[in-house]
Amino acid sequence: MNRIYTNEKTCPLCHKNKAMFTLSIKGEKIQVCPTCYQIVKIESDRRKTKNIVNDPKYTLDRIYQMLSDSVIEQNHAMQQIALTIYKHIQQKELIRTNALIVGPTGSGKTEIARQVEKYCGKDYPVLIEDISAYTPAGYKGNDLSEMVQHAYDISDSNKEKAERAIIFLDEFDKIIEIDTENGLNFLMQKSLLKFIEGRKIPVTKRDGQVEYIDTSHMLFICLGAFPELIKNRECSKIPLGFTETKDHMKSISVFQELKNDGMISELLARFRAIVQLNKLSPKSLYNIVIAKKDMWQEYHSLFYEQGKNLTITKETLQNACYDAYKNGTGVRGVHQELEMILSKALFVDGQKIEV
């Protein structure tokens, strides 16, 4: 639907206002007034959204399969996240299930966000933002309203679509650390709370006009390492969140720990799902890396371009996984270990290279 100015006097739909926009209805182009243009556009967007919801790719099983294929050996966590995404897309939730994902470095937090963006991005705006790069309202820097503008832009200026955005906020633990100087973390949490509760944020349309986007239907999924929280849980062998056992219920809850760490209770209450990603064992890291075919193709292609055939022994890979586990760097750490080994091997003489 392209906007054009026309000399036609009245809109053929309402017969009241001046026709200023062009619409394509069943292949026929007609000029209509701004009011009728918006009515038709809203109905068109609504039908598109309905078709997306009924798409078989967005069944609970399909979403779970997509996640578990990429983030291996985190089955329960993937079930929780799949359910969160499913309820949001199917618009089944009476209260949004905003989620907080807690996991050590390299456990798959960012990979989850990437896979959701890849899987849902054509139908829903999916944003992956570093929350620590934003500043509270009124301070110099990036304001949270810029995220809403971004969601609107990648939604092709579709208001209804933008208001169903899925927003991943990485490095979330950085803004709940207790402030020692200026209180910016506290103010940042307050700003985020307002967005999650629901605000009407002005966005700029392509023609320069202003439209308001309601954030109350957006899904917010926050990601953080929370190293101290995980360390305390591992030392005391207490699972993350509430459990059914009386002994564990007597123990300090994850909610109280997050409050003690500096998270305001009003914001904490907005997360209905708190999901823990487990620290991956050396064996788990090995299985995950073996399954990443794209990574191996990249390595072998690089050596092939240099006229070399590469063989990586099981022992080398196991050692890389153990070092990554020991350093607490997860899958990302395995890649780093292999990069160091293979960068040296590239300069070894000979056609058959074994490391």
Q: Which residue has the higher pLDDT, 46 or 114?
A: 114
CA atoms within 13 A on the CB side of 348: 15
Task: Give 98-120 as a 3 state SS string.
Answer: CEEEECCCCCCHHHHHHHHHHHH
Q: Could you read off the pLDDT of 217-263 as tens digits, one per residue?
A: 999 999 998 876 666 555 555 544 433 333 433 344 677 778 877 88
The answer to whether residue 178 scores a pLDDT higher than 50 is yes
Residue 127: the pLDDT is 95
Question: In whole angstroms, what is the distance from residue 172 CA to residue 95 CA?
Answer: 22
Average pLDDT over residues 169-181: 81
Give percent above pLDDT 90 in the chain: 28
Distance (Å, rounded) from C-alpha 58 to C-alpha 277?
23
| pLDDT: which is higher, 55 or 352 | 352
Percent of the chain with pLDDT over 70: 80
Q: Is the pLDDT of residue 200 over 90?
A: yes
Residue 313 CA to residue 308 CA, distance in Å, equals 16
Global pTM? 0.73
Between 109-120 and 75-89, two packed helices, what is the crossing angle to 10 degrees? Answer: 40
Distances (CA, A) of 16 to 4, 7, 10, 38, 42: 18, 15, 6, 15, 20
Q: What is the mean pLDDT of the chain?
A: 80
Give CA torsion, residues 179, 182, 188, 193, to 10 deg: 80
Strands 273-276 and 28-32: unpaired
Give me the phi and psi of 80, to 5 degrees please: -65, -45
User: What pLDDT is attached to residue 61?
Assistant: 92
Confidence band, pLDDT 50/70/90 cuts, at residue 328: confident
Higher confidence at residue 91 or residue 301? Answer: 301
CATH number corresponding to 56-276: 3.40.50.300
pLDDT for the residue numbered 247: 40
**Exposure of 268 in the CB half-sphere (CA atoms within 13 A):** 17
Tens-place pLDDT, residues 260-283: 778 888 999 899 888 988 888 898
- Selected residue with higher pLDDT from 7 and 44: 44
Determine the pLDDT at residue 147: 92
The C-alpha atoms of residue 167 and residue 170 are separated, in whole angstroms, by 10
Please, which pLDDT band fits residue 4 given cuts at 50, 70 and 90?
very low
- What is the per-residue pLDDT for 261? 78
Average pLDDT over residues 69-81: 89
pLDDT in tens, 19-48: 667 766 656 677 777 777 777 766 665 555
**The pLDDT of residue 259:** 80
Confidence of residue 78 (pLDDT cuts 50, 70, 90): very high
Higher pLDDT, 97 or 92: 97
Checking if the pLDDT of 120 tops 70, the result is yes
Domain boundaries, the chain: 1-51, 56-276, 282-354
Helices 282-291, 330-345: crossing angle, 10 deg rounding: 60
pLDDT of residue 185: 87
Kindly state the tokens that stand for 66: 């997509």
